[in-house]
Amino acid sequence: MMYWTVHMQGGPRRVNHAAVSIGTSVFTFGGYCSGADYRNFKPIDIHVLDTVKLKWWKLDQDKNCTCTPFQRYGHTAVAYGSKVYLWGGRNDNEVCNDLFCFDTGTLKWSKPITRGTIPVARDGHSACIIKNCMYIYGGFQESQFSQDLYKLDFRTMLWHNIRTEGIPPSLRDFHTATAIDDKMYIFGGRGDMYAPRQTDREVYCSEVYYFDTTLNRWVHPTLNGVKPPGRRSHSAFVHNGFLYIFGGFNRNMNLHFKDINRYDPVSSTWMMITPKGTSPCARRRQICLVINDQVFISGGTSPNPRKTDISSRQQDYDLTDSSMNQLKDHDDLHVLNLNPSLKDMCLVHMWEYAEEGKRPTDNLLIPETLRNDLAEVDPFEKTDVATTRREFEENYPALPALPAPPAPPAPPAPPERYQWRVFEN
């Protein structure tokens, strides 16, 4: 049985950002917030969540660094060893296809030189790591939807446009790509009846496709169970070989989601999961990562109901109400424990008992250890974001020693009649 154990506010307010987990830390990059100006090219912001202390940090940027990516949304980030590779995304003026690398040990950016067939600039694509390669699928490029599949081999820093067999997923953006073994699973996303053009006839796919990287082949498995409705801007994560999806949005249904659905790739079966405890409100464009049997969900955006005096944690939206045409951007954090202990489950029930009616727990006959934990931890507290570099470095947990990726071999010498030229956009 899964339990929602923590609900906190006061973190970074971000939508459509990208995040990775390294050790017990979550690194988030960029994103946007309603009302902010994203036409300039200020450096991208970085926030770090210490998942042990449940504390957020905002990293200062090196103003002298010339290779820092600009603030953006709709990009992807993947972790390879202790480094984070960020690709794609846009601000309100420009779409990017440069590759950036953030070293979580030195906290510095670099801009690796890549060769091969570099993908066209885009946003709303997906990315995942399988073995030593980053795979990128779909997105929105040059004013149209895409179903291109590329990979970047980190051993050679060479891009490949993959020629595949089988029928690929339809053209789409804001889907998810999730790696399980040697396969990349695609779910959801927004397409169009007249794709690759974008019109007002949106299409939301509820099928599952996977790309077998050993065979270079797309597979469309037959699904069992109850398929979740198609959606975009949802989250996907893997735990114990199962694929989970959370949240998202379907414009044709005028519906935001807060459901959790589990897909078993062995039996190709869907099942809806209902954890115990208080779930986050329905939302889209959030981040969602798994660390040590815990899922950390933060940010995103939701319909903003008329009654603003109800906390976002307690809102149970009637999401088919057309009057809710405003959106609320979140600064919250929610933790789903996938393997809770008996103590965790008892604490959840005590917190909910105290929260529902604001009733004191002093008169409850509970063990002294639980009483101490109730006094020390408030799962609904409002936190803040530390901003000083000194404070971050003094409290930042040391990252585990991760094996360094193999050094790339020297590129082969080109024939004499050719010359390599490296263009930096």
List, as one string, the DSSP characters of 327-391: EEE---EEEEESS--HHHHHHHHHHHHHHHTT--STTS---HHHHHHHHH--TT-B--EE--HHH
What pLDDT, on a 0 to 100 scale, did the predictor assign at position 381?
Answer: 55
Q: Reading across the β-sheet that carries 158-161, which strands appear in turn? A: 115-116, 158-161, 149-153, 133-137, 126-130
Does the bond joining 196 to the residue before it have cis omega, within 30 degrees of 0? Answer: yes
Average pLDDT by stretches of 10, the chain with 425 residues: 90 96 97 88 95 92 86 97 97 96 95 97 98 97 95 98 96 98 98 95 97 97 97 98 98 96 98 93 97 97 65 32 66 93 67 57 56 52 59 56 54 43 39
Residue range 12-290+383-395 forms a domain whose CATH class is: mainly beta
Q: How far is CA 335 from CA 25, 339, 359, in A?
A: 14, 12, 23
Structure tokens at 184: 């990349």
What pLDDT, on a 0 to 100 scale, did the predictor assign at position 425?
Answer: 38
CA angle 213, 215, 217 (to 5 degrees): 80
Whether pTM > 0.75 for this model: the answer is yes
What pLDDT, on a 0 to 100 scale, did the predictor assign at position 337?
Answer: 95
Structure tokens at 116: 């091969």
Q: Report the run of H or E that residue 193 belongs to, with start and end.
A: none
327 close to 302: Cβ distance less than 8 angstroms: yes
Q: Reading across the β-sheet that carries 18-22, which strands appear in turn? A: 18-22, 25-29, 46-50, 55-58, 385-386
Model pLDDT for residues 284-299, shown as the tens digit of each residue: 999 999 999 999 999 9
239 close to 290: Cβ distance less than 8 angstroms: yes
Would you kindly state where each structural domain of the chain is located, as residue ranges?
12-290+383-395
What DSSP string runs through 78-145? EEETTEEEEE--B-SS-B---EEEEETTTTEEE----EE-PPPP-BS-EEEEETTEEEEE--EETTEE
What pLDDT, on a 0 to 100 scale, did the predictor assign at position 377?
Answer: 52
For tokens 């990726």, name the residue.
405
What pLDDT, on a 0 to 100 scale, did the predictor assign at position 116?
Answer: 97
Residues in the chain: 425
Total Cβ atoms within 10 A of residue 267: 10
Give SS3 for 169: coil
381 close to 311: Cβ distance less than 8 angstroms: no
Which region, left, alpha or beta, applies to residue 30 given φ > 0 means left and ψ of -120 to 50 means alpha? Answer: left
What pLDDT, on a 0 to 100 scale, did the predictor assign at position 352?
Answer: 62
